[in-house]
Amino acid sequence: MVIDSITNGIVIDHISSGMSMTLYRYLKLDQLTCSVAIIKNAPSSKNGKKDIIKIDEPIDIDFDVLGYLDPGVSVNTIENGKIVDKFKPQLPKRLVGVIRCKNPRCISQDEQELTHIFKLTDEEHRIYRCIYCESKAK
């Protein structure tokens, strides 16, 4: 299979195999008007298989979403067919509006305008807790 290179845009590389559609949804890439290519199960010397997302237009990426869902990814910015920047997202210290609290007694469930905010409480185990009720993110 041949997937053309892009001239200007973003390449999200080293996505864990099978995670590309989850990232696609969380990053709201379906709302873009440009071409988006999803490559699943591409060969990877490091992990055996990986997914790749190519976006044929420069856009702002929510690095908190990437760092939370798949912290091993790398984001390449492409200009004139060349990589001009490479970035590896880290686990964010806070997640704002990315995930929702599942605790039915949390104030964020009653107050619809309240933004769901989670803080990283255990970096080693990637555990986030709601700042309002301390419930663990699932």
The model's confidence at residue 45, banded by pLDDT at 50, 70 and 90, is: confident
Per residue, what are the HEC states of the chain? Answer: CCCCCCCCEEEEEEEECCCHHHHHHHCCHHHCCCCEEEEEEEEECCCEEEEEEEECCCCCCCHHHHHHHCCCCEEEEEECCEEEEEECCCCCCEEECCCCCCCCCCHHHHCCCCCCEEEEEECCCCEEEECCCCCECC
May I ask the CATH architecture of the domain 9-87? 2-Layer Sandwich (3.30)
Q: Residue 44: what pLDDT?
A: 86
| % of the chain with per-residue pLDDT over 90 | 83
State yes or no: pLDDT of 2 exceeds 70.
no
Do the beta carbons of residue 53 and residue 69 sit within 8 Å? no
Q: For residues 134 and 118, what is the distance between their CA atoms, to the nearest angstrom?
A: 9
Do the beta carbons of residue 17 and residue 49 sit within 8 Å? yes
How do the domains of the chain map onto residue ranges? 9-87, 94-130
Q: What is the pLDDT of residues 57-106, one digit of tens each?
A: 999 999 999 999 998 999 999 999 999 999 999 999 999 999 999 999 99
State yes or no: pLDDT of 3 exceeds 70.
no
State yes or no: pLDDT of 1 exceeds 60.
no
